[in-house]
């Protein structure tokens, strides 16, 4: 999001005339659910992740956001904080596979 705001700045007397200045003003922090990019499963146009359940592994569809840091991506919907995901599942889907913790 981009907004224009007027800001008054006191500069040194020898500051050259006509020099432009760009400033980034942080708008606070946000909390987001992120997962390793390697955990993402693509099935056609659908995007999912393997979630650890009481019965093993289940494929759950998710909606992704932006890349965050090295090798991680934001999850906008489909996962909650605290959900366990299976990153290294065997086989194409691994649905129903038991999970060793």
As a three-state string, the secondary structure of 59-77 is EEECEEEEECCCCEEEEEE
On the 0-12 / 13-18 / 19+ scale of CB atoms within 10 A, 23 is: exposed
Protein fold of 28-101: 2.40.420
Asked if residue 33 lies in contact with residue 79, where contact means CB atoms within 8 angstroms, the answer is yes
Which token pair is 77? Answer: 């919907």
What does the pLDDT average to over 89-101? 57
Cα 65 from Cα 75, distance rounded (Å): 6
> Is the overall model pTM greater than 0.75, yes or no?
no
Query: How many C-alpha atoms does 70 have within 13 Å on its Cβ side?
Result: 0
Q: What is the pLDDT of residues 27-82, one digit of tens each?
A: 777 788 999 999 999 999 999 999 988 888 899 999 999 998 889 999 999 998 88
Cα 49 from Cα 86, distance rounded (Å): 8
- The three-state secondary structure class of 58 is strand
Residue-range domain boundaries for the chain: 28-101
pLDDT at 47: 96
């Amino acid at each position: 999001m981009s907004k224009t705001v007027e800001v008054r700045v006191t500069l040194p007397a020898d500051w050259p005339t006509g020099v432009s200045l760009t400033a980034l003003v942080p708008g606070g922090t946000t909390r987001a659910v992120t997962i390793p990019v390697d955990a993402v499963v693509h099935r056609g146009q659908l995007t999912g992740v393997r979630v650890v359940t009481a019965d093993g592994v289940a494929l759950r569809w998710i909606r992704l956001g932006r890349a965050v840091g090295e090798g991680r991506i934001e999850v906008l919907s489909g996962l909650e904080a605290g959900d366990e995901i299976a990153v290294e599942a065997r086989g194409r889907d691994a649905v129903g596979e038991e999970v060793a913790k």
